[in-house]
Chains A and B, each alone.
Chain A
Amino acid sequence: MPPDAQGNPGRYDMSVDERDTALDALTQADFSVSQEHGKQGFGGREAAFTHHISSHGELEYIPHALVHSGISGAMGAPGTAGLDPVFWLHHANIDRLWQVWLNANPLHINPTALTWLTYPFTFHDSSRTPVTLTPAQVLDTRTLLSGYTYEGVAPIGDTSPAVAPAVGINTGLFKTTLSGAFAHFAKAATDIAPEIAAATNDPLLLEGNEASTGLEFLPPTRRSPPLVATAQFAALAAAAPFPGLAEGAAHAYLNFENITGTGVPPVHEVYVGRKGTAGRYAGALPFFGIAESSVPDTRHSGSGQSYVLDISGIAHALEEEPGWDPAQLEVTVRPRRAPRPGSNVRIGRISLYVK
Chain B
Amino acid sequence: MTAGFHAAAMSSGRALARAYPWWPAWALAAAAWAGIALAAADGALPPALRDICRAGAVGAAPAPAGVAGVAGVTGVAGVASLAGWLWMSAAMMLPLQNRGAEHVAFSQPAARRHAAIALFYAGSLLPWLVPGLLVEALRPLVDAGQQPLNVAAGFIAAALWVLAPARARARAACHRTVPLRLTGWRMDAFRYGALMGWACVRTCWPAMVALGLTTYGAVPMALVTAALLWERYRLPHTSRRLAVALAALAAAELLRAWI
Contacts and interface: CB of A to CB of B under 8 A. Distances in A.
Interface of A: 34-37, 48-54, 115, 118-120, 122, 170, 173, 185, 188-193, 195-196, 198-199, 201, 203, 216, 218, 222-225, 227, 229-231, 257-258, 296-303, 348-349, 351
Contacts of A53: 175
Contact of B176 (A36, A115, A188, A303): A303
Contacts of A185: 16
Q: Which 10 A-B pairs have the closest CB atoms?
A: A348-B179, A52-B175, A349-B179, A224-B110, A298-B168, A229-B11, A188-B19, A189-B15, A301-B176, A189-B12
Given A189-B12, A229-B10, A49 B234 contact: yes
12 contacts: A49-B234, A115-B236, A118-B236, A173-B234, A193-B19, A218-B182, A227-B11, A229-B11, A258-B178, A298-B172, A302-B176, A349-B180
Contacts of B108: 196
Given A189-B19, A218-B109, A301-B172, A50 B14 contact: no
Interface residues of B, number: 45
Nearest to B13: A189
B103 A36 contact: yes
Given A223-B111, A224-B111, 13 more contacts: A36-B102, A36-B106, A48-B232, A52-B237, A193-B18, A196-B106, A201-B182, A229-B10, A230-B11, A296-B172, A302-B176, A303-B177, A349-B180
Interface in B1-59: 7, 10-12, 14-16, 18-20
A229 B14 contact: yes
A227 B12 CA distance: 10
A37 B110 contact: no
B255 interface: no
B146 interface: no
A116 to B, nearest CB: 11
Interface of B: 7, 10-12, 14-16, 18-20, 98-99, 102-103, 106-112, 165, 168-169, 172-184, 230, 232-238
Contact of A258 (B109, B112, B179, B230): B179
